[in-house]
A and B are shown apart, each in its own frame.
Chain A
């Protein structure tokens, strides 16, 4: 990488980018129910791998391309933490993983796409069961079902004040983790029965 680009990267606000990237990775890992990151990486290692890829030129970033560095790095992290991202690139390098290591996602997007009726998706059903009695969270899940995903859209849809959305989001993520754990346990039991 040329010196000018290195200097542009050095001038970025890493005090802002780094914790936000780590926060994104931590939430992505929890939201997608990732229990094992190939190579034995910790969630704190993932942002470092993303930054290394940026400096090595594996994931090139154009400072004038209209995408912020944070968004670019988040994209790298998202792709690393997908079954088709990290595992495929590692396989290309000749690294082999065991079946259990390939269980990167308990319920990956790919798995979900095979479910025609979203209402029947175990995560949706599990979430509704877990948040029974909490009308605020029920409204949020309903908003997501209706197609909302931006915090502002959900605030608008549900009438929840924008400054409360962050708290609601954390609460929903915690419930999501509980549901995933329950579903994971159920899957283990089912597997054991076979």
Chain B
């Protein structure tokens, strides 16, 4: 039933914190009732995720451009070499 060696305190905390079977709507409503500004919190999370995603997309695009430029340079050097020949 319980994990070997778990204490009353462990089990008490696990029990009161386990809301797996509770709907998200209910959880949101109770957080709100406890004075938490859930919308503001959700806004923070959404902004963080969006910022990190767009930063990663920008970094990836910059990397791809750099790679493409490098490839272009290689091709130009090759062409110049062939023309000289």
- Give A residues with C-beta under 8 Å from B: 1, 3, 6-7, 9-10, 14-16, 18-20, 22-24, 26-28, 30-32, 44, 47-48, 51-52, 55, 107, 109, 112-113, 118, 121, 123-124, 140, 144-154, 162, 166, 169-170, 172-173, 176
Contact = CB atoms under 8 A, between A and B. Distances in A.
Contacts of B41: 18-19, 22, 44, 47
Highest count of chain B CB atoms <10 Å: which of A52, A148, A150, A162: A150
A63 B9 CA distance: 31
Contact of B31 (A3, A10, A22): A22
Contacts of B20: 151
A154 B60 contact: no
A20 B12 contact: no
Main secondary structure of the interface of B (DSSP, over half): helix
Interface string B57-81: 1001000000000000000000000
Contacts of A148: 1-2, 11, 15
Interface in B8-57: 8-22, 24, 26-28, 30-31, 34, 36, 38, 41-42, 44-46, 48-50, 52-53, 56-57
